Structure 1
Amino acid sequence: MSVHIQAKKGEIAENVLLPGDPLRAKWIAENFLENAVCYNEVRGMLGYTGTYKGEKISLQATGMGIPSALIYCTELITEYDAKKLIRVGSAGSYQENLKVNEVVLAMAASSNSGFNKAKFQHADFAPTVDFGLFMNAVRFAENNSIKFRAGNVLSSDIFYEENDQNYKKWADHGVLCVEMESSGLYTVAAKYKVQALSILTISDSLVTGEHLPAKDREQSFNRMVEIALGSF
């Protein structure tokens, strides 16, 4: 067992999906995996292992934000030998033509977090996706006629912005959407030489104000999960 995950060695697969929301982890386990077993309930961060089309897959909730996500990602890699980690999460659109329920593949992750600034002594490390996993996701989406966008996303430490127009400086530079974890995931994956990918579903738009209800955020992201499972 690690500090935050109560699983024994061998109970977690090399391929792990990373939803932020523990209830989304439960929903994915119940609707996509066969013979899913819950291996973790510490702090309510549910973890499951089951099979998908005969392949062993794990799900580990990570909570919100880079610090929380990196606790779980680091322990999954260093204590349980995870090799491929795919985040499946929600995001807010920064572009008028990127609508609610659309899927985004994060090629790179900008950030306003202090995590990499501290790590690299204020130099700019550019966290990017693993090319192999990214191409697997692209091929699966194209072969299954799933519309997606790919590009730069913002991993923000700030959920409630005091200035609701701050997003425009990122949007003007082509950033597609905002979420809270991908930059940290890509950085820790690079450090430990494992593969990582972030797949996001747009749950709301900072441009139009459109948004999904909380229940839909938890349970309606089928296409994102299908792409993730098809990318391993």
Structure 2
Amino acid sequence: MATILVVDDEMGIRELLSEILSDEGHVVEVAENAQEARAYRARLTPDLVLLDIWMPDTDGVTLLKEWAAQGLLTMPVIMMSGHATIDTAVEATKIGALNFLEKPIALQKLLQAVEQGLMRGKREGQPAPASFDADEDGGELGVFGESEARVAPAAINGMNAGLGAENDLAASMPSGAPSADISFDVPLREARDAFERAYFAYHLAKEHGSMTRVAEKTGLERTHLYRKLKQLGVELSKSKT
């Protein structure tokens, strides 16, 4: 889990990015202008910043220059814009921006850029995503796709007990649904995707394909649920809306 600061003057963009990144397991903080972003950075150092270029008070490139000059550019920064030129993107990169995303931002490009940014931050000794203490959880969970998950035996036993209580899961899965078997010997991102595919496939089967009831059961908005299922590759052809 990482703390990501989203700086954008458009409420819709802030809400959309917050929803997507929160669903990915991150803590998302938002700022609607450079002033709020400055105030946040003065208090805390996020693991990653998504920074809009065109804002009403101070543009993102100027804010990036300020942080660099003040020695505060100690976290990966990804610039965003729907109107920026190539020259602007190059300038931001020279100042220290890690990447540039053009609006409207494609979901896969966003997730890939965020993952790369967090990995870069960890490699360079910048603030890394929060991990679980070994004393509390028996292991450390690394950045997506970067290290394998190590889970305490007690936690594994608890999960196995839970799976035992649902031993009819496979039988209730829709045709073509992914297996509920999840390996702990794979990178965290792959294990989590496998779990989520099985989780949603189970609820789709239990609710007979009703997206409305699945949305209620999982606590997701219908539009968010559709996007998540598409991202995971869960078959929807037999679903009832």
Q: Compute the TM-score of the two structures, normalised by the length of structure 1.
A: 0.33
Query: Which entry has the higher C-alpha Rg, 1 or 2?
Result: 2
Structure with the bigger percentage of helix: 2
Structure with the bigger percentage of strand: 1
Higher relative contact order (CA 8 A, sep 6+): 1
Q: Compute the TM-score of the two structures, normalised by the length of structure 2.
A: 0.32
